[in-house]
Amino acid sequence: MILIVLRTVGGFGNDAACCCRAFVVLVWMSVCAGAVDFEKDVQPIFRDRCIDCHGADEQNSQFRLDRLSVMLSGGNSGEPAIVPGKTEASYLLKLVKREEPGWEMPPDEPLSDDEIGLIENWIADGAAVPENYGPAKPDVELDHWSFRPITRARDVDGIDGFIELKLQEHGLQCSQQAPRHVLIRRLFLVMLGIPPTPEQVAEFESDPRDDAWQRLVETVLASPQYGERWASHWLDLVRFGETDGFETNRERPSAWHYRDWVIQSLNDDKPYDQFVREQIAGDALGVDVATGFLVAGPNDIVKGKDPKLGLVQRMNELDDMINTTGTAFLGLTTGCARCHNHKFDPISQRDYYSMQAVFAGVQHGERPLPLSDEARQRLMEVNAEIADLTQKLEQFIPNEPLASTKTNAADADQERRPAVNAKRNVERVVPTLARFVRFTIEKTSGAQACIDELEIYSGGENVALASVGATASSSGDFQHPLHKLEHINDGRYGNARSWISSSDSGGWVQIELTKPVMIDRIVWGRDRQSKYSDRLATAYRIESATVPDQWTLLASSADRRPLDPAQTADQKYQFVGVSKDLEDRGRRWLKQLESSQALKAKLEESQRVYAGTFSQPGPTYRLYRGEPGATREMVGPDTIQVFARLDLTQDAPEQSRRLAFADWITSKENPLTARVIVNRLWQFHFGTGIVDTPSDFGTNGAPPSHPELLDWLSSELIENRWSLKHIHRLILNSRAWRQDSRPNRAALEVDANSRLLWRFPPRRCEAETIRDSILTVSGKLNLDNRGGPGFSAFAVQLENVRHYHPKDKYGPEDWRRMIYMTKVRQEKDQVFGVFDCPDASMVVPKRSRSTTPLQALSLLNSNFVMQQAEIFAKRLTDQSESTSEMVVHAWRYCFSRDPTPEELADSESFIADQGLTQFTRAMLNANEFVFIP
């Protein structure tokens, strides 16, 4: 047998070069079959037409062309070079026939018809090969470190034993233990994301017990703030956001359930294997909320009419699920195999589409959750309140037409005027002398009301036009370049010539005529061009006056049918012609009714969750180069074949696919899952993981700095019911974690990044910790308001395409932990976004830690920080009787320690010169405040 070794540009991944490999082997097969003379007819062709074209570049990969498996599997394209007996399916022939533009083989002068015929006939005859060409599917040797089984190294005094052995190899040693005030501050910032109170510091510093530290660790792990802190790390990993992203960026009002589930799961120390399984197949395990993981990413809701675009969008949705699952749980970049075989890891394109078949039945969207007993009871109470208030308000329903002659409400409703519509509404009124006409909006179909023209007729003349001298005014205008007050009476129709109120209810627009005239008709609409129907005024009243503020009711929505049959009756209530006392009571009842209706909507809304919907998918095909229209063979649901097989049929039930996949990921035999998560925990403790590429454990990722320690921790996780808190305990109680962070010149020369952990690596806090710490020291952080819908950092402009404008004023509703700030894709918090907050449109395994002028400017000058500095100053004033006492309190709050005599003197001097508020502002901007020591 002749062994031919070929070095090619790009190896078998370059499909043109792939042809060279396959061509030589196929010709050798023909030699064996007696069809061609290799030395006389084929070897010269290969030598002269292929080797000379591609050369033998020493920098490119070497391939042995003596294995059947190589020819059948193909190159990086995922296309098999030959399919025995099927010439039309053999990619090699397409290349040599020059049917693939840009991938022709040979690239210069084509093969002759006779040469192509030799290959074609050999394939058609079955492509026989000698036995020593091996099996069609080889045994893959998984010799990369992360693909090998986890092996528990001999116990060398736990974490510290492994760390100290590595330090000794480099002539280093651990630093001494950090002072107690540093330890408790570090512990609280790392584990809870907020600083300790001065009382907690004092208690720990004075605790004489030998196990004081261990007791403090247990207290911290039992705190509900632990889950809130560590959930932010997980939400980064799974690209969680509460808007859709893309150009519309619409809200997902029920996505917060998943965030709360993550927090509670961490606080409960849910076994990590169960935590993973529920996120992939929670609907099969009685935990519907958890599958919010699958659809936590962005989703383009603008689908368009082009079916090809729709296919591409669907492929992108599924790619997001596959890639996030691969990186978050397995530490593998599975998404690289969408268009071709993975260039570095043993993941074929077929593997990728087999995983796509696992998730093919998952769609973005909400689904209902079963009502809890508590929610069901509260909903019954609210319904009773609504019924009682509705009955009380019946006396304020005016002019029910012929109600006493009707047998039921449906008959009475037929006497009402038609419901409002977006195009044109006519209000015919008794002829009335008027100088002022006011249109007041009480309720809308959604957001602030929009009116494109308000017409007032006297006979056949529109006397409201600005062109005849009428002037418009309003209670407030929505700020938008298209929508202006001047459009309300300019005589032109359509959305682009409309006015929008600045408020959802109670807003009004008024026309002042040039003189009092008799009016008999008012006409208004949302959009006379019928392009828009949103922002429609559904409850309103129209009043007139001859002198300001002496209004007479002309017309209202009370005698119209509801826009929606399910619409509540609050549109009907009118508080005119009754005593002031009764009017006040009626308005109070109406307000209570609206509040109860809002609570009912909230309770019902909270029982829906953005966690995806599921349906049985159709067949899944491998796609040539990832093109949706270029289907190849059908594939069934499966995982990465070199690791395991799911043994599912191609038509397996949708739910069983995800459940089987989740079982494989969390299997104790899977070498990746435990390693990946303990490495992530290590990274969030020390700033850098044992593996510095936390979402790439493949051959292109970084090797572990302490491989035996990584496997020891992985074994500990599995053997202790996958408890994440167990790993936290091991790390927190280690000498490595408790050592001082002060630098050592000699050690820095050997290990400048402290990767070997000769000291605890100090680092800047993340944005969430900085914000929450500011609120903590000012005394305004609300730790009791946990869970539920979040608060927004933006004023949202509710157009079809959402616009998010940063807030410039803050109140108690904003003083929650930042984990509860609504995560808006493509937008960042104006103040803390500059501290490397990631965009929720992408998976972020490790945040950047930059230092920029914008960070200092934001902390120093933002309205939020200045407000909290003032509140902090007041807190110090209330608690202190002297300037020195204020300074001591400030240092204890901000730095968890007392000031030195020099610091105390400097602080007192600064306060005397600049004032207390400037001092607190400076304290909140200090490096020591924003760093983990």
pLDDT tens by residue, 626-680: 888 888 899 999 999 999 999 999 999 999 999 999 999 999 999 999 999 999 9
| Averaged pLDDT for residues 834-851 | 90
175 or 62: which carries more pLDDT confidence? Answer: 175
What's the distance, CA 542 to chain centroid?
A: 45
pLDDT at 463: 95
187 or 572: which carries more pLDDT confidence? Answer: 187
| Averaged pLDDT for residues 23-32 | 43
Classify residue 691 as left (phi > 0), alpha (psi -120 to 50) or beta.
Answer: beta
CA distance 856 to 919: 16
pLDDT at 513: 95
pLDDT at 99: 75
Classify residue 66 as left (phi > 0), alpha (psi -120 to 50) or beta.
Answer: alpha
pLDDT at 139: 60
64-78, 112-126, 388-402, 895-909 — most confident range: 895-909
266 or 414: which carries more pLDDT confidence? Answer: 266
pLDDT tens by residue, 876-927: 999 999 999 999 999 999 999 999 999 999 999 999 999 999 999 999 999 9
User: CB neighbours (10 Å) of residue 550?
Assistant: 10
CB-based contact 140:146 (threshold 8 Å): no
pLDDT at 83: 77
CB-based contact 138:67 (threshold 8 Å): yes
pLDDT at 826: 93
How does residue 112 score in pLDDT terms, banded at 50, 70 and 90? Answer: confident
User: CB neighbours (10 Å) of residue 207?
Assistant: 14
How does residue 364 score in pLDDT terms, banded at 50, 70 and 90? Answer: very high
Query: Which residues of 464-551 form beta strands (DSSP E)?
Result: 471-474, 499-500, 508-525, 537-545
Using DSSP's 3-state secondary structure scheme, residue 896 falls into coil
The answer to which of 161-175, 419-433, 553-567, 860-874 has the lowest mean pLDDT is 553-567
Using DSSP's 3-state secondary structure scheme, residue 670 falls into coil
pLDDT at 825: 94
The answer to which of 71-80, 319-328, 377-386 has the lowest mean pLDDT is 71-80
The answer to which of 90-94, 684-688, 837-841 has the lowest mean pLDDT is 90-94
How does residue 210 score in pLDDT terms, banded at 50, 70 and 90? Answer: very high
**Cis preceding linkage at 106, omega within 30:** yes
CA distance 403 to 414: 11
**Which sign, positive or negative, has the C-alpha torsion 530, 535, 539, 540?**
negative
DSSP string covering 459-475: TTEETT-GGGT-EEEES
Q: Which of 849, 813, 820 has the alpha carbon at shortest distance from 834? A: 849
User: CB neighbours (10 Å) of residue 459?
Assistant: 11
How does residue 564 score in pLDDT terms, banded at 50, 70 and 90? Answer: low
How does residue 518 score in pLDDT terms, banded at 50, 70 and 90? Answer: very high
CA distance 481 to 494: 15
pLDDT at 681: 98
| Averaged pLDDT for residues 694-723 | 96
Angle between helices 724-732 and 212-221 (to 10 degrees): 150
Percentage of the chain beyond pLDDT 70 is: 85
Q: Is the pLDDT of residue 720 over 70?
A: yes
Q: Is the pLDDT of residue 706 over 90?
A: yes
607 or 53: which carries more pLDDT confidence? Answer: 607
**Average pLDDT value for the chain:** 86
Cα-based distances in Å from 497 to 220, 481, 525, 533, 915: 59, 10, 12, 15, 52
**b/e map 805-822, b = 16+ CB within 10 Å:** eebeebeeebbbbbbbbb
| Averaged pLDDT for residues 319-335 | 95
| Averaged pLDDT for residues 795-823 | 92
| Averaged pLDDT for residues 379-383 | 90
pLDDT at 72: 66
CB-based contact 70:63 (threshold 8 Å): yes
pLDDT at 114: 75
85 or 857: which carries more pLDDT confidence? Answer: 857
